[in-house]
Structure 1
Amino acid sequence: MRRLPPNSALRVLEVVAREGGISAAAEQLGMTAGAVSKQVLKLEAWFGQSLFHRAGRGLQLAQVGADLLRELTPALDRIELASGRAEAGRATDRLCITAPPTFMTYWLIPRLGQFQQSHPGIGIQLDNRRDQSRALPEQADVAIRRGAPDGPGLSVTAIMPEAITPACRPDMPGVETLRHPRDLAGVTWLMAAMRPHDWQDWLAAAGLPTLEPARSLTFDHTYLALGAAADSLGVAMAPLYLVAHELHASRLTAPFHDITVPTAGYFAVCETMREDAPAIRAFREWLTMQGAEHAAAVAAGTRP
């Protein structure tokens, strides 16, 4: 029988060493700092010696820890690779899809019924939790990202472009005063903390980089700002390709639609070793087809 240290503790050890501290490792692992500390102590008890020593506010590997990690990291890499190959061979019939909340709310969910009708045997789990540290979060089969991520072992497929322009409700009080971009100074600006530069970028393109609003409201996400715009609270900087249906249905209007600023487009990400799994391949092909059709409709000014 093999005599091996606790596998879960070994994984924690690698992350603590990489991040240089308990708190940073806990954030990466989705654990509490206390739970991470407990795993490190368990491993040190197993070896009967300290694996780290303190360096300022962080931790630094002791020599025995460094020697262990030198052998441990390639071993974990090989396990991950073998596991991925095994998973790639299975017939996946359930997909976990992660995407930005605005993309999910305004574009993906309204179309998802089409995919389910075409592929009734594939179950879908949607997850809009954001993980900025990973292009493809753990447990996700496909991630949709703004901008093409760069990383080893990732297969990235373009879905569609994006651009921004101001949008508001057609009957918002004061909308009749918006005849020139400078008139935006007299209304409330609805801002999204997740996209803090959108207003400045659009104003620069409109030749008004120093324009300031009469009032402003800031929300965590773009979909909240768009919801506030639909409730006549002000003008939001809207992702044109995501709200094209709202514009066509006159639930929103773009008073300066002739001034748009291209932004990062949308991409589908999966593991390279799993890109040919039937369910993942079917979903990515459907996404690219839907994205191309939608982009063509937006460019032509027809109903998306």
Structure 2
Amino acid sequence: MARIPSTQALRALESFARHGTVWQAADELNLTRSAVSHQLRLLEREMGFRMFDRVGTRIELTPQGMAYASDIRRALSAIAGSAARNAGRGVTGALTVSCTPGFAATWLCPKIGRFREGFPDVSLSIVTPRRLDDVSNPDVDLFLTFGTGNQPGMQVELLKEVEFTPLCSPALINRLGGLNGPRDVLRAGLLHLHEREDWRNWFRLAGVGEEAAQEGIVFADMNLVYAAAMNAQGIAMGDEFICHEAMEAGTLVRPFDLAIRSPRSYFLVVPTDKADNPAVGAFRSWLREELPDMHD
């Protein structure tokens, strides 16, 4: 069998391929830039084909280098998945997670299969609460809430702070002939969740009278707000974390750079008497892995 390069060199290549710069790969891998550059040079020499083009002081992957990096990414992912599956064996029990509807639909549900792969013997149930900060259900082992984090007698961990900004469908912008300033959102039609506070705060920051927030449609569920926005029915005050994938896909766009920091955040909340449940510990660890930028 052909000699396999060092794992560190392969990780350096995979990280460089994703970020495109040596310094970002070095930051991610906790190495110096010279160490990453050295690993990449050794790897190219060992593989025997040209993996990099030198462009001034920068290096870029050649087509062969990009293809090899793609293969390495898949191989490293398979190794990590195998480790997670085997580490999770032996963790058993039932786990009920309460999660806000928006977080569940757009972030948790698309990723939950990875938890199942890692901990196949955990019997998992996911429920949604009536209120976004509700932790009253006695059948729940772990809560993913949106609120202030004030839950006396429970273990509370900040997951993600949130910024809100207007988000809408590009089709709506085209139909309106563009949105040239903050007041133009009134032509688009405002979409609200429960109340109008977020729009009032944004209008105040934008220098538009906050009474403008009285316009628009009020929905009882954030998923309904986003569904209406994606179907060009109006403009929502969107959570950029929850809407990240829709923004990446271009189904929602941000017409203005102006954003407001929400007084509420996403929290992981565990009742003290449930904290020793091995399945709770497994889910907490998995969540930290999936959200490496927690607290940012």
TM-score category of the 2 structures, normalised to the smaller one: 0.5 to 0.7
**1:274 aligned partner:** 274
For the pair 1:262 / 2:247, whether they are aligned, the reply is no
Change in 2 beyond 3 A, CA 1:289/1:225: same
Shift, 1:219, TM fit:
0.8
**1:188 aligned partner:** 189
* Ranges in structure 2 where 5+ consecutive residues have no aligned partner: 1-90
Q: Distance in 2 between matches of 1:155 and 1:267?
A: 10
Q: Distance in 1 between matches of 2:134 and 2:161?
A: 22
**2:233 aligned partner:** 233
**1:125 aligned partner:** 125
Shift, 1:150, TM fit:
3.0
TM-score, structure 1 as length reference: 0.61
Q: Distance in 2 between matches of 1:213 and 1:146?
A: 22
Shift, 1:289, TM fit:
2.9
Shift, 1:127, TM fit:
0.7
Q: Distance in 2 between matches of 1:240 and 1:271?
A: 29
Post-superposition CA distance 1:171-197 (Å, at most 9, x none): 12535321211211212111111x531
The two structures, once aligned, show a CA RMSD in angstroms of: 2.4
Q: Distance in 1 between matches of 2:214 and 2:280?
A: 48
Q: Distance in 2 between matches of 1:174 and 1:211?
A: 25
**2:292 aligned partner:** 292
Change in 2 beyond 3 A, CA 1:285/1:176: farther
Q: Distance in 2 between matches of 1:157 and 1:179?
A: 40
User: Which amino acid in the other structure matches residue 181 of structure 1?
Assistant: P
Post-superposition CA distance 1:238-275 (Å, at most 9, x none): 1111001100110111111x211111111111122332
Does the 8 Å CA contact 2:200/2:213 hold for their aligned counterparts? no
User: Which amino acid in the other structure matches residue 262 of structure 1?
Assistant: R
User: Which amino acid in the other structure matches residue 122 of structure 2?
Assistant: I
Post-superposition CA distance 1:276-303 (Å, at most 9, x none): 321101111222332334777xxxxxxx
Shift, 1:168, TM fit:
0.7
DSSP-derived class of the 2:218 partner: strand
Post-superposition CA distance 1:30-57 (Å, at most 9, x none): xxxxxxxxxxxxxxxxxxxxxxxxxxxx
Q: Distance in 2 between matches of 1:192 and 1:249?
A: 23
Does the 8 Å CA contact 1:159/1:287 hold for their aligned counterparts? no
Does the 8 Å CA contact 1:174/1:187 hold for their aligned counterparts? no
Does the 8 Å CA contact 1:189/1:216 hold for their aligned counterparts? yes
**2:177 aligned partner:** 176
**1:244 aligned partner:** 244
**1:166 aligned partner:** 166
Larger Rg: 1
Q: Distance in 1 between matches of 2:147 and 2:96?
A: 20
Change in 2 beyond 3 A, CA 1:107/1:244: same
**2:65 aligned partner:** none
Q: Distance in 1 between matches of 2:176 and 2:168?
A: 8
Q: Distance in 1 between matches of 2:202 and 2:148?
A: 22
After superposition, residues 90-169 of structure 1 pair within 5 angstroms as 93-130=93-130, 134-169=134-169
User: Which amino acid in the other structure matches residue 248 of structure 2?
Assistant: H
Post-superposition CA distance 1:67-95 (Å, at most 9, x none): xxxxxxxxxxxxxxxxxxxxxxxx75221
Give the percent of matched residue pairs that are identical in Structure 1 and Structure 2.
Answer: 26
Change in 2 beyond 3 A, CA 1:149/1:265: closer
Q: Distance in 1 between matches of 2:131 and 2:184?
A: 38
Change in 2 beyond 3 A, CA 1:132/1:111: closer
Does the 8 Å CA contact 1:158/1:288 hold for their aligned counterparts? no
**2:82 aligned partner:** none
Does the 8 Å CA contact 1:241/1:295 hold for their aligned counterparts? no
The alignment of Structure 1 onto Structure 2 pairs a total of residues equal to: 204
* Ranges in structure 1 where 5+ consecutive residues have no aligned partner: 1-90, 297-304
User: Which amino acid in the other structure matches residue 176 of structure 1?
Assistant: G
Does the 8 Å CA contact 1:187/1:215 hold for their aligned counterparts? no
Q: Distance in 2 between matches of 1:133 and 1:225?
A: 19
Q: Distance in 2 between matches of 1:219 and 1:104?
A: 18
